Structure 1
Amino acid sequence: MANIQVQNPHDKFFKETFNNPQVTKDFVTYYLPPSIVKQIDVNTIEPQKDSFINKELEEVFSDLLFKVDINHEWGYLYLLFEHKSYQSRNIAVQLLEYMLRIWNRQSLRKKADKLPIILPLVIYHGKQTWHMGQSLGDVIKGFDTFTADMTRYVPDFDYLLFDVSTYQDAEIKGVAQLKILFTIWRDLYTKNPADLKTSIYQAAEALNALEEKASGLTYFETLLRYVFSTSEAFTKNDFNDIVKTLEQAYPKGSDVMKTIADVLREEGIEQGMEQGIEQGIAQGKQQGIAESLLMMLDDKVGHIPEDMQKSIYQLDEQTLKSILTNYDQINTLKDLSRYL
C-alpha cells in the first residue's frame, strides 16, 4: 500500500462528496425506493452540521443529517456510512440511539407537540456482501416468534441499506462525484489494482470534463489521497503509473490533471513511500487476521461489542496470533477481554 497519511480518509471522502447539494439530491432520487422518493421534496434538502457518532466509533462510522420536506412536513434523512469491512450486527441499535439523540435535541430546541420523521439510511462497502438483517427486530432475541399482540409493544423499524459492493456499472447513477464515490467504494475491495486504476482514470476523465475545473481538481486530489490511504494493494509503482498516465493522457491546454501530479510531488507524498509500503503490508495482514478472528468469535461467543471490536483491530499481529492459538479457551467475552 502506498501509505499516504490522511486523518480518517473515509470520513473526508464521504463528507466532501455529499457536501455537493446535487450529490444528495441525486442520491435520494436514484437510490431510494420510488414510493419513498415521491414523498420527498429534494429541492428542500438542507444539510445540518450535527454529528451523532460516539467518539470511540468515529474511525468506523461517519454520519450526515439532512433536513427535508417529507410528505409536506419537515423531517430528516439520517445517513450512516459504515467504512469497515467487518459488518456491524448491532447497527439497528446504533441507529435507534442516534435517532433518539436527534429527537432529544429537537425537543430541547423547539417545543413541538410531535417529533419529526427520521428516515434512517445506511451505506456499506466492504469485502463481503451485507448479510445482516435490516431491522431492529432482527437483533432482538426471539422477535420472530412473538405474537402480534406481543410485537405491538416491542420497538421495531427497518432501515434502508445501500450495499455499494454489489452495484453493477449500470446501477451507479447521478452526478459525476456521486458515481465516482460509489464506483471507488465498490472497486476498492472487489477489484484488483489494475481494475481500480482504470476506475481512477475514468474518474479523472469525468472530472476533467466538468465546467468547474477547480472543484474537480480538489475532489480528485481527495480521491487519490483516499485510495492511497485505504487500498491494501496499491504500491509505489502504482502511484507512479497513475501520475505518469495523468500527465500523458490529457492534451495540452488541459492542465487540471497535470496540476494534480505536480501538487502530489510538491507535498512530498512520494517521500517515505517505501516505508509506507512495508507498513501497509503489515497493516493489511493485521487487518485480515483481525477480521477473520472477529467472525470466528462472533459465531462462538455471540455479538462482539463495538468497543471490543475496535480494540481487536488495534492489536498487533503477534497478539492476534496469540488469541488464535488460544481460541479454544475463549468461550465468553470475559475470556476475550484478557487479551485486550
Structure 2
Amino acid sequence: MIEIWESKVRKEQLNKLPIIIPLVIYHGKERWKASTALKEMITGYDKLAEDVKIYIPNYEYLLYDISRFTDEEIKGKAQLKIFFTTVRDIFTKSGKGAWDSIDRAIAYLKELEDKQTATEYFETLMRYIFSVDKSLTSSDVSKIVKKIETTYPEGSEVVMTLAEKLREEGLKEGLKEGLEKGLEKGMEKGLEKGLEKGKREERITTAIKLLTKKFGPLPEELKSKISKLDSVTLEIIIDGIFDYESLDDVKKYIN
C-alpha cells in the first residue's frame, strides 16, 4: 500500500492519497491463520489508551481463501473461473488437480466466441500448470496432449509446442546450473590448491632457512629433497628444529 502511494505521489504529483482496499487471494495447502487486522499484530494494542491508539496505524484486509471455494461458488467470466479454479487446485490436489483444471478450462473456454483469445488463455494456463506442478511426468504430458486432441483440438498444438519449449528451457537451465556449479566448484578447488601450494612453498623456504642457520649451508641434493616433501612432513621438520643435533636427524624424515 505504501509503495502504491509513493508511486502515485512521485509520478502524478498528488496532494492527497487514493483509497486502497487491501485484498488477499490465498490458495495454499494450509488454512490461512494470520490475523486480518493490523492491530492484532501489534503488541499491547488493546491495552493502549484511546488517545494513544489514534497514533497507531490500523486497518483490516479482505481475505479470499479460494482453496475452500467450490466450483459453484466461483463465478464470473470464463477466464476468471479458470484462474481461480486452477490456482485453487494446483497445490491442494497435485497431479489430479492439473487434470481437473485442464478439463474445466476446456469446458469454460468453449464458452468464448473469440477462439484466438481462448487459445492464448489456454497457453497461459498450460504454462502455469507445467511450471508449478512438478509432479507431472513426460508420460502425463503425452496423455494430456492426446486428451486435448479429442476435446479441444485448438489447444493440442499449443500444448505440444509448449511442452517441447519447456523441455528445452529445462535442459538449458539444467546445463546452465551445472556449468555454474562446476565453475564454482572448480574455482573453490583451484583456490584451495593455490592456497595449499603457497603454504607448502612457504614451509619449504622456512625449513631450508632454519636448517641453514643451524647447520650452515645445505647440500643441493638435500635442499632438492626437502623441496619435494609434503606439507605435513615439512611442518614436522620445522617444529623439531631445536631438537636436531645433526643433519642426520633431519634425513630420517626425508629418506
TM-score by length of 1: 0.46
The answer to whether the aligner puts 1:264 opposite 2:165 as a matched pair is no
Matched AA of 1:199: S
The answer to whether the aligner puts 1:186 opposite 2:84 as a matched pair is no
> Kindly, what percent of the aligned residue pairs are identical?
40
Match of 1:249 in 2: 151
Q: Distance in 1 between matches of 2:161 and 2:91?
A: 27
Q: Distance in 1 between matches of 2:169 and 2:55?
A: 59
SS across alignment from 1:180? helix
Match of 1:158 in 2: 60
* Contact 2:27/2:67 (<8 A) preserved: yes
* Contact 1:135/1:159 (<8 A) preserved: yes
Give a deviation string over 1:105-128, Cα, whole Å, max 9, x none: 333445555322121222222111
Q: Distance in 2 between matches of 1:247 and 1:232?
A: 23
* Contact 2:119/2:154 (<8 A) preserved: yes
The answer to whether the aligner puts 1:117 opposite 2:16 as a matched pair is no
Match of 1:101 in 2: 3
SS across alignment from 2:72? helix
Closer, same or farther: CA 239–274 of 1 in aligned 2, 3 Å: farther
Ranked by relative contact order (alpha carbons within 8 Å, sequence separation 6 or more), the top structure is 1
TM-score by length of 2: 0.60
Q: Distance in 2 between matches of 1:106 and 1:272?
A: 38
SS across alignment from 2:22? strand
SS across alignment from 1:173? coil
Q: Distance in 2 between matches of 1:194 and 1:218?
A: 23
Q: Distance in 1 between matches of 2:150 and 2:21?
A: 46
Give a deviation string over 1:18-41, Cα, whole Å, max 9, x none: xxxxxxxxxxxxxxxxxxxxxxxx
Q: Distance in 1 between matches of 2:10 and 2:159?
A: 49
SS across alignment from 1:118? coil
Closer, same or farther: CA 133–212 of 1 in aligned 2, 3 Å: same
Matched AA of 2:40: D
Matched AA of 1:260: V
Q: Distance in 1 between matches of 2:110 and 2:119?
A: 8
Q: Which has the higher strand share?
A: 1
Closer, same or farther: CA 241–274 of 1 in aligned 2, 3 Å: farther
Correspondence list, 1:184-333, <5 A: 184-250=86-152, 255-264=153-162, 267-270=164-167
Give a deviation string over 1:212-237, Cα, whole Å, max 9, x none: 11111111111111111111322222
SS across alignment from 1:199? helix
* Contact 2:149/2:155 (<8 A) preserved: yes
Matched AA of 1:107: V
RMSD value over aligned CA atoms? 2.8
**Bigger CA radius of gyration:** 2
SS across alignment from 2:59? coil
Correspondence list, 1:53-64, <5 A: none
SS across alignment from 1:170? coil
1:262 is displaced (CA, Å) by 4.2
Q: Distance in 2 between matches of 1:261 and 1:115?
A: 45
* Contact 2:98/2:133 (<8 A) preserved: no
The answer to whether the aligner puts 1:168 opposite 2:70 as a matched pair is yes
* Contact 2:126/2:159 (<8 A) preserved: no
Match of 1:126 in 2: 28
SS across alignment from 2:6? helix
Unaligned runs of 5+ in 1: 1-98, 277-340
Closer, same or farther: CA 111–186 of 1 in aligned 2, 3 Å: closer
Give a deviation string over 1:240-295, Cα, whole Å, max 9, x none: 11111001224xxxx41233234336x4445587999xxxxxxxxxxxxxxxxxxx
Closer, same or farther: CA 135–239 of 1 in aligned 2, 3 Å: same
Q: Distance in 1 between matches of 2:172 and 2:21?
A: 45
| 2:37 corresponds to which of 120, 125, 135 | 135
* Contact 1:125/1:186 (<8 A) preserved: yes
Q: Distance in 2 between matches of 1:273 and 1:243?
A: 19
